[in-house]
Amino acid sequence: MSTPDFFRSRLDAMIDLRHPLAVLATKMSWASIEATLGPLFERRSRDGRVSEADDLFGPNSLELAGGVSPAGRPRLPMRLMVGLLYLKHAYNESVESVCERWAQDVYFQFFCGEEYFQPRLPCDPTNLVRFRQALGEAGVEELLAATIAAAVQMKAVTPVEFERVIVDTTVQEKAIAYPTDSRLLEVARARLVQLAQRAGLGLKQTYEREGKRLRRRAGGYAHAKQFRRLRRVLKRQRTVLGRLLRDIDRKLSGASIDRLAQLRVWLERAWRICRQRPKDRNKLYALHAPEVECIGKGKARQPYEFGVKVSLAIAEKQGLIVGARAFPGNLYDGHTLAEQLEQSAILLQDLPGTPQPKTVLVDLGFRGCGAIQMHRSVTLAFLTSAIPQ
């Protein structure tokens, strides 16, 4: 508990406690969330390492101690970071805009556990990105389970409604530029030059000027639909990237160990971009996001989407999400059904008196599904029209 401040008004005296965010803030089990997610953010014990050095008495070995270090700034409150993550997705905000809005909105601050108004940013936006990455899939499932428990406690959904769920798949698009071959080759070249210079490798040639010139020419030829000239430019770009890759491979022995591991990851991706052709399967569409796939969902407005396939399980009447999973690779929709139902069963098993899904409503894209064998008590009901996305 904080010390009362007689010169400032408390947030609960400034807002309407009947506001949806204020009601949800009092119904969420924040203590349980902090207890569950706390172990994910504990300081890890690190092993010591041996350092070879020379001094006045000759060569010797120094063992640098490991263990848990108390150094570093303290972590931000768990409720603040979890609340910001909830608000980001609930209001479809970016990490920058949700932090700016938090500094202006008293309801956002009350939801995140503040007692008095704070006219400042809650954290740097990059902290929220790192927090989401540290949560991982298990941490996000815990937050989803807490959301379902809060909905049941508030009687926003009755337990009997979980017997009928709608399962459908969509594409979670990745924030990448359109993956043209010319752009991928130039991005790979520029990235490898940057990493090689950081690792202290003396490259024979960086092809900086020629790379930019080839990129402009490829854009002009593509716009004018001069595809024969465009293919010649792409061939030259692959030649330039191949020369750069072979030059780096020859000089990797002089790089530091830390830089070497990072450089090999980017080298493997750059070789894939250099060797792939327009009609190849399993292409790499983004250098920084190798999980991106080209997925066609039959939409007239957008035939192809670049991202990851996501499966959602939703309660039929109230539309409460009771399961969400990402499936890397362009899987058939029916092959995602068993794992999606397994996740929903795990999320609902801790709620007292809550039945498991018995009837699953799917569209015709799940026809021929043989992955339902592990859930023999589940009945599939096919809809005649696609579920609106």
DSSP 338-380: HHHHHHHHHHHTTSTTPPPP-EEEE-GGGTT--TTTT-TT-EE
169-193 average pLDDT score: 93
- Whether 310 maps to a domain, the answer reads yes
**In terms of domains, do 224 and 86 share one?**
no
Whole-number pLDDT of residue 374: 43
As given in the structure block, the two tokens for residue 90 are 């609930």
The residue segments making up the domain with residue 100 are 11-41+74-153
* pLDDT grade for 97, boundaries at 50, 70 and 90: very high
The residue type at 308: V
As given in the structure block, the two tokens for residue 97 are 């805009």
**In terms of domains, do 147 and 192 share one?**
no
Give the number of residues written for the chain: 389
Whole-number pLDDT of residue 54: 60
- 48-61: per-residue pLDDT in tens? 666 666 655 566 66
Angle at alpha carbon of residue 265, lines to 260 and 267, rounded to 5°: 90
**In terms of domains, do 92 and 241 share one?**
no
Between 2 and 10, residue with greater pLDDT = 10
**In terms of domains, do 20 and 143 share one?**
yes
180-206 average pLDDT score: 92
**In terms of domains, do 135 and 23 share one?**
yes
* pLDDT grade for 262, boundaries at 50, 70 and 90: confident
What's the sign of the alpha-carbon dihedral 187, 188, 189, 191? positive
**In terms of domains, do 163 and 311 share one?**
yes
**In terms of domains, do 144 and 165 share one?**
no
**In terms of domains, do 23 and 145 share one?**
yes
As given in the structure block, the two tokens for residue 63 are 């063992």
**In terms of domains, do 239 and 299 share one?**
no
DSSP letter at 318 equals T
Whole-number pLDDT of residue 18: 92
Mean pLDDT (the chain) is 86
Say if strands 49-55 and 379-382 run parallel, antiparallel, or are unpaired: unpaired
Contact (CB, 8 A) for 164 and 358: yes
**In terms of domains, do 207 and 258 share one?**
yes
Angle at alpha carbon of residue 91, lines to 106 and 107, rounded to 5°: 10
Task: Name the percent of the chain lying above pLDDT 90.
Answer: 48
Task: State the Cα–Cα distance between residues 311 and 166, nearest whole angstrom.
Answer: 10
CA distances (Å), 250 to each of 199, 239, 245, 267, in order?
A: 14, 17, 9, 12
- Whether 49 maps to a domain, the answer reads no
**In terms of domains, do 37 and 135 share one?**
yes
Number of domains in the chain: 3
6-26 average pLDDT score: 90
CB-CB neighbours of 82 under 10 Å: 23
SS3 category, 4: coil
Task: State the Cα–Cα distance between residues 52 and 62, nearest whole angstrom.
Answer: 6
Whole-number pLDDT of residue 88: 94
**In terms of domains, do 88 and 137 share one?**
yes
235-262 average pLDDT score: 84
Going by C-alpha positions, the residue among 386, 377, 380 that lies closest to residue 297 is: 386
Tell me, what CATH number does 335's domain have? 3.30.420
* pLDDT grade for 371, boundaries at 50, 70 and 90: very low
> Among the three residues 242, 275, 308, which one is the final residue of a domain in this structure?
275
